[in-house]
Amino acid sequence: MRPTAADTLKSSRKPPRSVLVALFGALVPLLAALTFMAPPATARTEAVPAATLTEVTAFGANPSNLQMYVYVPAAVTAHPAIVVAVHYCGGSGPAMYSGTEYASLADRLGFIVVYPSVTRASKCFDVSSPQALHRNGGSDPVGIKSMVDWVTTTYAADTSRVYALGISSGAMMTNVLLGDYPDVFAAGAAFAGVPFGCFATTDGSEWNTACANGTVIQTPQQWGDLVRGADPGYTGPRPRVQLWHGTADDTLRYPNFGEEIKQWTNVLGVSQTPAATDSPAAGWTRTRYGAIGDQAPVEAISLQGGSHNLYTYGMGARVLAFFGLTGGGTTPPPAAGPCKVTVTTSAWNTGLTASVTITNTGSSSVNGWQLGFTLPTGQTVTNGWGATYAPASGAVTATNAPYDGTVAPNASVTIGYQANHTGNSAAPTAYTLNGTACTVG
């Protein structure tokens, strides 16, 4: 068959074989160099925009159609911690982001915040159904676990530093997450919640009136068995728990606070008798169980006269101290013996400086210390020396610097801070050293 004009045209366009070989030989090293230089498609810096609340879709198993929002700070650390912040009934992930300080704390400390968001009409998390109260049961906890897995994979997060906190419905979900996935979460903080399993229903209802009214009373063993039954094969360590409740809560009434304490002290195998009791702020009573210091197994904070809407800015720093994310380490300071605090202040129109001398009046050395005090209303710490101070106002904890953590018997250490004020430049009137009240004078 004779070649057509089209065949002739195609043939005329083919380069000689020698040209192709030479061209291929030149391209191979170029392509190799480009491949070496190109960042991987899954590079963590490209996963979501930095310092921006971002919705993530298709993050994994999500049987109840939750939405996932994530905040990754610009200065995210290598192998970051993960904090899951769970919203209240009627809320959302974006509302939790804008209404709490965890994103700004993440900017300072480099962890990643996950904000789960309910899509069901009630905007409440499922803490009632049998599915929710069992590991991999097929409800909200499964979706939240998938969010944690997505962040862990995408950002090579530290799986030993995954935490949950929540308000109201989110507090109840925090307790559920700690029960369902004790191997995932290292600690949790529940603001105005109820014990794990207290809200359980079998009729599809999301609301349990008896539990809300504080009339569901059980023994510590019974409460603990509910938690252990969520993942019956688990025998490893359990997450530490921080509990907050107001005495005047008329939505999830105050008896639930005591029941939570019974539950988690039983689960964690510690005494129901507090190891330490103090008042870190006016009207607050803080009890710690199983140990003293910021990372006790169970920490419970009761707010006298506090309503259901008890969460305020500044509490986030205390949550992170409990989690161990504020640089203080995970070993709580030992109990301090008798102590004395002497304070001198120098004030001007809108500011002041304070010099604080801590004296160990006991017979044993203090090895690692935290000084607690409450600033008068209107005062805000702007900088300090000799210690780190958090939060900047209200009930403040000053934690020793690396060079002044040991105070021998009858020895002293002096620290200080500068603060703004709005008219009241007085010094605090009471101090605690590692939870022990000090003489002031």
Contact 268, 325 (CB under 8 A): no
Q: Is 307 a catalytic residue?
A: no
Cβ neighbour number for residue 233 with a 10 Å cutoff: 5
Would strands 351-360 and 339-347 be described as parallel, antiparallel, or unpaired?
Answer: antiparallel
Would strands 339-347 and 439-440 be described as parallel, antiparallel, or unpaired?
Answer: parallel
Contact 125, 86 (CB under 8 A): yes
Cβ neighbour number for residue 164 with a 10 Å cutoff: 31
Q: Which of 389, 350, 394, 348 lies closest to 370, judged by CA?
A: 389
* Paired strand residues for 246: 303
Cα torsion 279, 109, 148, 167: sign: positive
Cis ω for the linkage preceding 391 (within 30 of 0): yes
Residue 281, φ and ψ in degrees, nearest 5: -150, 160
Question: One-letter amino acid identity for 69?
Answer: Y
Residue 358, φ and ψ in degrees, nearest 5: -105, 125
The residue annotated as part of the active site, out of 64, 92, 128, 168, is 168
Q: Which residues are catalytic?
A: 168
